[in-house]
Structure formats: structure tokens, C-alpha cells
Structure 1
Amino acid sequence: MFQKEAINNDLYRDLGEKWYYGNDYIGLLRSESKTRNPWILNQIQNQFQKSVELLDIGCGGGLLTNDFAKQNFNITGVDIHDEVLQIAKNYDPNKKVKYIKANALSLPFENESFDVVCALDFLEHVDNFHLALSEGVRVLKKNGLFFFHTFNRNILSWIFVIKGMEWFVKRTPKNLHVFHLFIKPEELINCFSDLGCQKIELHGLNPKIFSRSFFKLIRYGVVDKDFKFEISSSLKMGYIGYVKKL
């Protein structure tokens, strides 16, 4: 049942304007960002009393970076696809974000270059999340914060995150996610610990299921603008958190 299939990361190159207007599977990513971005921003503002240097690894169409461009941050977003970076640049409201084509497993930055590093909906898209974390921590300053969002690896996440998307969300491509790349929270935290980082917070991030928008998604396969995610105590499926580099 859980064969090691190849992740389909090339699909992101062709999304175009759907990054900001699509109402199928990419709409879920946009809805996630509406919940997690304010949460991340709040943690950053509580920890830093100055402008921060922020790196978003696997920035995609800029759903985090372009939102944070409204803040007094120096922001860099990296992605491996030129097409995706162009969309991010097009939707940068103040043309403040520095977008760079780069491989997350070999980042083109000096050690300890950033106060904050983010890897959101990214770690489950690489074959070696340990190396991705190692590179992210390498470029993070001492006492800097590393934010992450990914998916747990269990039967529940396979049913809801993988099969549920394929069954109920229109135009979900094959291998948008693959099960063997999902990461158990303890695996992630242990890897961070080995890299000299301390867990600060860890929470679930999952769809708000008892809502009109959720039932609309199940019935029609579309994600409307009111579809919501919520931060919870359950780590069974999606989870979000951050660590501090010691």
C-alpha cells in the first residue's frame, strides 16, 4: 500500500496565477497560509525587537514572503523553479523581497546569515529532510528561529492528506504528496536536536472540519475563500512549530 513513489514537484512550475486565485488543491495551501502566517509573525515579533533577516526555503509563489513584505523585514525567498519565482516576484506588493533560484540542499549563503528561517510545506517534498534541515540551520544565526510545517507519517495522514485530496479535491495531481516522505514529529525534533536546536513550540495545523466551507469542499471539490485551517493540539496530520538555534 505504501510504495516509495517519486514526489511530483514539477507540477508547481505550471500553476501560474493559480497560486493566488486557484480554488482546487492550491487553494488549500493558500488557506493554510492565512492561519500560519499570522502565527509565525506573532512569534517573530515577540522574540525580536528589531528588523530581522528572514529566509523562506522553498518559497513557491511567495505566499509567506509577499505577506511578510509588508513588515519591516529583510526577506529572501529561494526556490528551484524559475517559473515559480517569477509569480512570486509579480505578486510582491512592494518589490522588497529578494528572490533567488537555489537548491535547498546547497544554499548559496554564508553561515549564520539569517535571524529566521522558514521551511513550510517543503520538507515532505525532498528525499533528504536531514540535509535540508542541516543547510537551514547552517545559515541560521545563533539564537535564531527555524519555523516548519509538514505532515506526520501514519495511516490517518495517508487517508486524509493523500487519498482524501485525490478523492475530493478537483484536479489534484498524482503524487502531490507521497507517504514515505512524511515525517514523524519526533524524527524532526530529534534531527533539530542533533543540529544544536531546541524545540520551542509544536502544534497541529489542520482543516476546520465542522464548517460550511469544509462540506462544500467534500461535495463540490472546490476550496472557497472562507475555507479555514486551525492550530490545535493534535499532531496526527499536519503540524507546525519552531526551534531555536543554541
Structure 2
Amino acid sequence: MRTGSTIDAAEVAKFQAMAAEWWDPNGKFKPLHMLNPCRLDYIVRQIAAEFGRDPGSERPFAGLRILDIGCGGGLLSEPMARLGADIVGADAAERNIPVARIHAEQMGLAIDYRHTTAEDLAAAGETFDIVLNMEVVEHVANPLTYLSACHSLLRPGGLMICSTLNRNPKSWLMAIVGAEYVMRWLPKGTHDWSKFITPDELYDLLRRAGLDPVDRKGFVFNPVTWSWSLSDRDLSVNYVTASIRR
């Protein structure tokens, strides 16, 4: 893999060290396992609405080519493959790829996993109907350059779904103090609060990258029910956006 210009080596090293734990629901990626049903609900709804698909059908996303950038161990790639999509899972952390490949093989799923970057895929002329860009943009060295590469990977009319963390005192308390120090869901230092991005900042970056933002929602954790839900109003910590390449 040729190193892309937005790769932050220190960020990649963090996820390299945790690669073997991707599929342990009680391990270092427990927060993503808990969040995954909520993420999938949003993703499936947005894709179905944009491409006129019936999510209740057997393979609703058949014929759609999806890139899961920053795929990790494949927590999103595998459900998308089950829904019939042609999936490329890409990650800059090399050790994530064999973990993802082995798990997909065990599940009987054909997923094209690659150790590569958004920039290298764009340089190779790859194009997709959908780019899943989940919890990645806060880990790159240059968000605008990275999102511009993601724009290049979308066909006209293509959809990008991008989630990240808001930057405010509440997100510092919840995502860093709470998740890393109190609950110990993540290793200390997993996130850098200064790299978090507000919703308005992300919308501005998306537009500057050539994308048209069309929706945003919050992911809200309920400590009583121990579950996540989507919110139209509360984007204070985790949130997700949908944007289109016109």
C-alpha cells in the first residue's frame, strides 16, 4: 500500500494494536458492537430511500457497489454483504484485513478486503454507488483532503454516509472521560478531542469537498436501557450525516 496523504501513522498504530479484538463483543470494540444496530438502521434507511430499494426484500442492495472505508474487522461490511451489495472493505491498518477476511470466510461471505487508502483507491479509478465513512474522519491528518478523495470515489448521484464525534465539553466527558477512563470501553488515548468535528464544520467540509449534505442525525446512548437510538435533535456527541455527489 502506498501511504496516502491523509494517513495519521499514530492513529493507524492504535487500531493495529487492537485488530485481533474486532469480533469480541465485550472487548475493546464493545462500543461499536453496541452502536452497530443503530448505525445499520440509519444506513439501510438512507440507502433504501436514495436508491428506491425495499429493505424488506431478500437482497435489497443487489447491484449496488459499496465501499466501507476504514472497515476495521468488517462490522458493517458483513451486514451489507448479507443485504446483497458488492462490498469493498478498505483499511489503512494492515492487521485489520486478515481478521476481517477470516471472519467473512467463516460466515460464508464474499467481501473484497484491501489494505489501502481512499486516496489510492481514487487514484486507481475505483468508483462506488455508496461510501460508508463511519468513525474515520476524526482520525485522519487532513479531513478536507480525505473527504475530497471520498468524493472522487462516488459516482454521480452516489451516497456517502459519514459519522463522527462532535467537539464540545459533553463529548469530551462522554467519549473520552467516560468511554476511556470510567467505563474503560476503549484504551486511553483512542480519541483526540481536538480532532473531533462539529456538525456545522462537517457540513462545510462536505460542501467544500463537492458533496451535497442532505441529512444528519444524532446517535444517543441511553444509560438506563443500555442502548442507542437515532435523534433528530441531539447531535451533541455521536452523529451521522448523509450527502450526495451531484
Q: Could you state the TM-score of these two structures normalised by the residue count of structure 1?
A: 0.85
Paired with 1:195 and 1:145, the residues of 2 have a C-alpha distance of 14
Choose the corresponding residue for 1:60, options 64, 72, 92: 72
- Equivalent position SS for 1:20: coil
In structure 2, the CA distance between the partners of 1:189 and 1:112, relative to structure 1 (3 Å rule), is farther
Choose the corresponding residue for 2:47, options 38, 44, 48: 44
Contact 2:92 2:115 in 1 (8 A): yes
Contact 2:138 2:197 in 1 (8 A): yes
Q: Which amino acid aligns with 2:18?
A: L
| CA deviation profile, 1:198-228 (whole Å, cap 9, x unmatched) | 11110101212222x4xxxxxxxxxxxxxx2
User: Within 5 Å, which residues of 2 pair with 1:1-246?
Assistant: 8-49=11-52, 51-92=63-104, 93-107=107-121, 110-111=124-125, 113-170=127-184, 172-211=186-225, 213=226, 228-232=227-231, 233-246=233-246
Larger relative CO (CA 8 A, sep 6+): 1 or 2? 1
Paired with 2:19 and 2:188, the residues of 1 have a C-alpha distance of 19
* C-alpha deviation, 1:236, in angstroms: 0.9
Q: Could you state the TM-score of these two structures normalised by the residue count of structure 2?
A: 0.85
CA RMSD of aligned residues (A): 2.0
Paired with 2:43 and 2:26, the residues of 1 have a C-alpha distance of 24
Gaps of 5+ in 2: 1-8, 53-61
Paired with 1:16 and 1:125, the residues of 2 have a C-alpha distance of 16
Residue equivalent to 2:5:
none
Contact 2:21 2:28 in 1 (8 A): no
Q: Sequence identity, in percent?
A: 27
Paired with 1:148 and 1:189, the residues of 2 have a C-alpha distance of 10
| CA deviation profile, 1:9-38 (whole Å, cap 9, x unmatched) | 323223355211241441111111121113
Gaps of 5+ in 1: 1-5, 214-227
Total equivalences in the alignment: 226
Paired with 2:117 and 2:99, the residues of 1 have a C-alpha distance of 18
| CA deviation profile, 1:106-149 (whole Å, cap 9, x unmatched) | 43554571100111011111121111101000110111001011
